[in-house]
């Protein structure tokens, strides 16, 4: 195993900086990265995978106590940008992020664009990671790419926090992007903004699917959406499906420091949409959601939905 300890960068990638601009396959063997930091992006590891290249981490990688320093930093431990058709980043073995911190994405920041893809087929742990803005564990932005969290073992996020939105995960989904999250457990994560477990914004032709025993447990938000917060542009093509997820003992707390009253809604799930939604399109399907013992300081102990014609949506069944 390679060991990187107390490495520093004045820009990106405290321990490793990797730029791949040609269609080759690269594998990086097991490594432990400890107490590394970078000023801007990737406190430990920065990579950009482009033009059909493939980067694989086939063995154990462990990141501990890594961080980014600037007010606009991304990826406390790991920053990855995957651009272009057939460009791929794959975590094939166990990945751990412990006590890492940054401004956006305390553990990892991931940008997937223009036909690129990211896959986790094995186990991944985020514990005690934090961000001063969005995404305590993971910050994820996609634009015409594919992201698959489809592990044979569980993805685990525990005790991750952020001062903005998305205590566990913050994701922006747009332009024919699909994110599939399977077999993930988010426990005791919290946000000062919305989405204690997950915050997701879905734009044109974006798709988010939660399936295969996802669980949100004891997450909390100090605005809305204790477990999950979803914001959708209903005027554009999109889809949001909960096929198999348990949301329990999550809470949405009123933030008395805010000058506006938009907090304390949707203890388990907050779903908001701008524009008109046609329920017959069936682009929102929550029938795989199991909810219990959630709480909200204001309304929607388990679920709070904000959109026009909510009565028709309920009549169709969600």
Per-residue model confidence as pLDDT tens for the chain (318 residues) = 789 999 999 999 999 999 999 999 999 988 899 999 999 999 999 999 999 999 999 989 999 999 999 988 999 999 999 999 999 999 988 999 999 999 999 999 999 999 999 998 888 999 999 999 999 999 999 988 889 887 677 899 999 999 999 999 999 998 878 888 999 999 999 999 999 999 999 987 788 999 999 999 999 999 999 999 999 987 777 889 999 999 999 999 998 777 666 789 999 999 998 777 777 778 889 999 999 999 999 999 999 998 876 665 665 555
Contact between 166 and 136 (Cβ < 8 Å): yes
Q: DSSP code of 25?
A: E
CA-to-CA distance for 47 and 129, rounded, in angstroms? 20
Contact between 260 and 216 (Cβ < 8 Å): no
CA-to-CA distance for 172 and 188, rounded, in angstroms? 22
Q: Which two tokens stand for residue 18?
A: 């990797």
CA-to-CA distance for 264 and 297, rounded, in angstroms? 5
Domain extent listing, the chain? 10-163, 167-318
CA-to-CA distance for 143 and 81, rounded, in angstroms? 11
């Amino acid at each position: 195993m390679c060991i990187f300890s107390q490495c520093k960068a004045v820009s990106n990638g405290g321990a490793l900086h990797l730029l791949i601009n040609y269609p080759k396959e690269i594998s990086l063997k097991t490594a432990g990265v400890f107490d590394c930091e970078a000023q801007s992006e990737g406190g430990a590891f920065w990579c950009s995978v482009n033009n059909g290249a493939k980067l694989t981490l086939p063995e154990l990688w462990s990141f501990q106590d890594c961080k980014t320093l600037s007010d606009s930093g991304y990826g406390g431990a790991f920053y990855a940008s995957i651009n272009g058709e057939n460009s791929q980043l794959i975590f094939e073995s166990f990945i751990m992020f412990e006590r890492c911190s940054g401004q956006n994405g305390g553990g990892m920041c991931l940008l997937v664009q223009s036909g690129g893809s990211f896959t986790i087929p094995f186990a991944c742990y985020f514990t005690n990671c934090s961000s001063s803005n969005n995404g305590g564990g993971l910050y994820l932005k996609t634009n015409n790419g594919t992201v698959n969290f489809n592990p044979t073992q569980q993805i685990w996020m525990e005790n991750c926090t952020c001062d903005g939105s998305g205590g566990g995960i913050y994701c922006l989904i747009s332009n024919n992007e699909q994110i599939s999250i399977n077999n993930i457990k988010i426990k005791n994560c919290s946000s000062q903004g919305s989405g204690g477990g997950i915050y997701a914004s879905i734009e044109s032709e974006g798709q988010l699917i939660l399936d295969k025993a996802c669980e949100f447990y004891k997450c909390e938000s100090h605005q809305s959406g204790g477990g999950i917060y979803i914001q959708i542009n209903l005027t554009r093509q999109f889809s949001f499906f909960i096929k198999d997820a348990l949301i329990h003992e999550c809470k949405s707390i009123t933030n008395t420091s805010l000058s506006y009253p938009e907090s304390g809604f949707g203890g388990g799930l907050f779903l908001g949409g701008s524009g008109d939604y046609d329920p017959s399109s069936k682009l929102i399907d929550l029938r795989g959601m199991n909810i219990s013992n959630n709480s909200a300081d204001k309304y929607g102990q388990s679920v709070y939905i904000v959109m026009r014609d909510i009565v028709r949506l309920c009549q169709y069944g969600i």
